[in-house]
Amino acid sequence: MKQTTGRIEVITGPMFCGKSEELIRRLRRAKIARQCVASFKPAIDNRYDAGSISSHSLQTLEATLAADTGDLIAKLGDTPAEVIGIDEVQFFGDAIVQVVIDLAAAGKRVVLAGLDMDFRAVPFGPVPVLLAIADEIQKLSAVCMSCGLPAIYTQRLSHSEELVVVGAQGMYEARCRACFEP
């Protein structure tokens, strides 16, 4: 009998660094390997394509929308998926941590993509805890849109103080440590 071992993989970094693109790449490779894959994204993420995980480079992969962690659990049900991908995991809140632990304990490979810091450079939602329990972490950097150096921060360009403002180019820029304006 084949022994299945669960696994938690976290892809993180600022906006525009390729997190969703890397998630899509990993999930496509799992499909090539004939593994059953299920992918999810938060319903709040309405950029680009509502029914797909979408990268800023316009790569897409069909995904199921979930309003919150409870909705995600309901949609997972008794999924036969061996590999579960979740994009924009920071929007699912702290309850996602136990869900991910339970999925890995059930032998699932869970691949997560999410921002590690918000626009204030503060650790974002459940991502720091997910990083702590991950089997594998890939921290990506973007290109600073001010000077061209590697960027680890997301600079919000609008003056909104709301924590969650979904947007893309024109609302946010990737910035390096020197160019980031807290």
Annotated catalytic residues are: 88
State how far the alpha carbon of 145 is from the alpha carbons of 22, 25, 44, 74, 128, in Å: 21, 25, 26, 40, 25
Short-list 115, 104, 79, 121, CA closest to 5: 104
138, 11 Cβ separation under 8 angstroms? yes
145, 175 Cβ separation under 8 angstroms? yes
Determine the distance from the C-alpha atom of residue 60 to the mean position of all C-alpha atoms in its chain, rounded to a whole number: 14
